Amino acid sequence: MALRRSALCASLAGLLACLTGCGAPGGGARVEGPAPTGIPWTGPVYLLDWESKPHERPDLMDLTNYTTLDWMRWRDWGSPRATATGHVMDFSCGSDCPNGEPRSYQVEIVLSGLVKRQYAAYYSHASVTPVHRPAPDWAEDVGSVPLRVPKP
HSE-CB at 32 with a 13 A cutoff on CA atoms is 2
How many domains does the chain fold into? 1
Q: What is the mean pLDDT of the chain?
A: 81
pLDDT digits (tens, 9 = 90+) for 5-44: 555 555 655 555 555 555 555 556 666 666 655 566 678 9
Q: What pLDDT was estimated at residue 134?
A: 82
- Given a cut of 80, whether residue 92 has pLDDT beyond it is no
Q: Is residue 21 part of a domain?
A: no
Q: Residue 23 domain-assigned?
A: no
Could you read off the pLDDT of 53-87 as tens digits, one per residue?
A: 999 999 999 998 888 999 999 999 999 999 999 99
CB atoms within 10 A of CB 148: 15
69 domain-assigned: yes
The residue type at 81: R
User: CA-CA-CA-CA torsion for 139, 92, 77, 48, nearest 10 degrees?
Assistant: 140
Determine the average pLDDT of the residues in 115-134.
91
Domain contains 15: no
Q: Is 22 within a domain?
A: no
pTM greater than the 0.75 cutoff: no
Q: Is residue 6 part of a domain?
A: no
73: exposed, middle or buried (Cβ count in 10 Å: 0-12, 13-18, 19+): exposed
**Percent of the chain's residues with pLDDT above 90:** 42
Instruction: Point out which residues pair with 63 in neighbouring strands.
Output: none
pLDDT above 70 covers what percent of the chain?
72
3-state secondary structure of 3: helix
Task: Confirm whether 17 is domain-assigned.
Answer: no
Q: How far apart are alpha carbons 119 and 91 in whole angstroms?
A: 34
The pLDDT, as a whole number, for residue 24 is 53
CA distance 47 to 65: 15
Q: Determine, yes or no, domain membership for 116.
A: yes
Instruction: Say how far apart CA 98 and CA 31 lie, in whole Å.
Output: 66
Domain that holds residue 64: 45-146
The residue that leads in pLDDT, 62 or 98, is: 62
